[in-house]
Amino acid sequence: MNQIIKLSDNAASRIKEIMAGAEANSIGVRVGVKSGGCAGMSYVMEYTKDVNPNDEVIEDKGVKVFVDAAAVMYLLGTEMDYKKEEFSSSFVFKNPNETERCGCGESFKT
């Protein structure tokens, strides 16, 4: 079965760095989507301490990413990358399901 989200090497190593500094009882990061932003939906990332029984768990390149069950249909086939630029650094989601993305890149529509 195809993974819902593929992690780039940069994303995986950044998640490792983040987890190294996380609270001891954090078990990974959870990715979800929420309503909001100029295009209708935005990506949400947070530490997770518990596994929700409905989460999809992705173990790739030595890290664990939990995908919120409600977000799975929006994220199928997405590649998660981490970009470091001169003035900012952020996780970038390359999502084949997007039909529209706002100019600031913070939100999207499927």
Which domains are seen in the chain, by residue range? 5-109 (2.60.300.12)
Supply φ then ψ for residue 40, to 5 degrees: 115, -35
What would the mean pLDDT of 77-90 be, rounded to a whole number?
A: 91
- Residue found by looking up tokens 């001169």 in the block: 86
Residue with more model confidence, 68 or 23: 68
Q: Give me the numbers of helices (H) and strands (E) for the chain, helices first please.
A: 2, 9
CB-CB neighbours of 33 under 10 Å: 23
The answer to whether residue 104 scores a pLDDT higher than 70 is: no
Angle of CA points 20, 35, 31, to nearest 5°: 25
Nearest by Cα to 70 from 99, 31, 39: 31
| Predicted confidence (pLDDT) at residue 36 exceeds the cutoff of 90 | no
Question: String of b and e for 41-66 (b: at least 16 CB within 10 Å)?
Answer: bbbebeebeeeeeebbebebeebbbb
